[in-house]
Structure 1
């Protein structure tokens, strides 16, 4: 963290209790009550402190960070969840699934899927102005992506503080196979359609993601640096939903197509949770 991180109004014990509640839900596979009774609805310093504690626990068990996700970038998703600003979470290696692969049953609690553009960085975003030109230059390539959001909180009954504490409701992600540089495809111009079992369930455009997915990445680069954990070369960044998320069930197949960035597909397994 930074030398002078923002101070949380929640106590250390409340932050620890919130982390324990969410960790218990993840371990048991049984969603828990919201944590806003412990850390408040909008205390972002406290919420990110809970997220950091949960991240530290995963790293201690051998997890590996692969990047970040930006959440709540689409007005439609903000309306769905009753929030009004973006957030971010951490991506781990065990969250990644191959294009056309299967997410085992129970791997993600209360799964909801959204389509977006993912960036893979070729340069650090740690120094300099972190303006649009620098951020564009740092992008190695973009791909179509599906994020499988999951909530450890029962019924997705979340405030901003709840979702931030819960690693921005991260679950899993899938990257498409076709890579595009920014010379080959402009993210803001992408048009997205997402279908479940062949039925269209969500549409949107690159402009729905904070006006431009590259601008969403710029927001994250600055925010991450402020918190002392800047973005690094090789990391994956899920830039945020281009349209509404959609709840999925075991046996479903989800496909998204993004003009300029091709498509991406994932299946959801049936049977006993793995």
Structure 2
């Protein structure tokens, strides 16, 4: 499974979920596959920069039919510089979602981490947009499938404004996502487990079960606030936040020769 998922990513091809055939595939195995592929990424020169959460909002859970939040890895190869277009030539069927992003000031290790303890370890809060791209056809998967697939990781962008958490009420921090100037969805930080700090605590406690922690200096994407929006080529996408500024994305060029030149 690990090799197949990495091949799907490299070759830009999707597939049916493994749970269609492997009915007893469980989350523990999914995380083992995720960790194995992180080691492969690091071995090829990528650098671990943080973690991301998936399906922390009710909107995303209902859309995907998966009601378990989960944790995955971020590497420097996934960081999209501000102003760069979405790399359509590398992706299968990208979608975007606005997120509240934490930059950690202290190491955060479970078990037993509370939201208050988690927020005390945060140095700054930023706006962010994650570009997700499932290796499963039509984004259809069960929880173990998507955990193995590193929570549909592809790329992420963080906004230019960093504020201390003490200056924000993150449960009320709102976002508006626009595509080509039209509002397509809105949400507040309360959509993320009631408060993004709860998602951060969840991540630390989940990682502790596998012997990991969130290190100082790392970033944490706390999960999509709204439903994910298709990242169509040539689209103009903007996510506006109440206090954290705006993140703008260019949908990138249409990839007309995808089949002949998948790289």
Cα separation, 2, equivalents of 1:40 and 1:47 = 13
Matching residue within 60, 81, 97 for 1:98: 81
Within the alignment, does 1:120 sit opposite 2:103 as a pair?
yes
Structure 1 runs of 4+ aligned residues shifted over 3 Å read 37-42, 271-274
Question: In 2, Cα distance between the equivalents of 1:174 and 1:39?
Answer: 35
1:148 is displaced (CA, Å) by: 0.4
Give the TM-score of the pair, scaled to structure 1: 0.89
| Unpaired runs of at least 5, structure 2 | 256-261
Q: Where do residues 147-166 of structure 1 align in structure 2 (5 Å cutoff)?
A: 147-166=130-149
In 1, distance between residues paired with 2:122 and 2:129? Answer: 19
SS in 1 for 2:201: helix
- Structure 1, residues 169-224: CA drift from partner, whole Å, max 9, x if none? 11100000011111222211111110111111121111000100011101111111
Residue 125 of structure 2: which of 100, 125, 142 is its match?
Answer: 142
**CA 1:79–1:129 in structure 2 vs 1: closer, same or farther (change >3 Å)?**
closer
Deviations 1:144-171 (A, max 9, x none): 1001011111221211111111001111
Name the CA shift for 1:127/1:211 in 2 (closer, same or farther; >3 Å).
Answer: closer
Structure 2 distance, partners of 1:241, 1:59, is 26
| CA distance in 2 between partners of 1:127 and 1:255 (Å) | 35
- Report the Cα distance in structure 1 between the residues aligned to 2:121 and 2:21, rounded to whole angstroms: 39
1:98–1:50 distance in 2 versus 1, CA, 3 Å: same
Contact 2:48–2:74, Cα closer than 8 Å, also in 1: yes
Q: 2:228 aligns with which of 224, 239, 245?
A: 245
How large is the Cα RMSD of the aligned pairs? Answer: 1.7
Looking at structure 2, the residues matched to 244 and 90 of structure 1 have their Cα atoms a distance apart, in angstroms, of: 21
The 5 Å alignment of 1:1-274 reads: 18-37=1-20, 39-40=22-23, 43-126=26-109, 129-272=112-255
Q: Which runs of 5+ in 1 are unaligned?
A: 1-17
Q: Distance in 2 between matches of 1:245 and 1:44?
A: 23
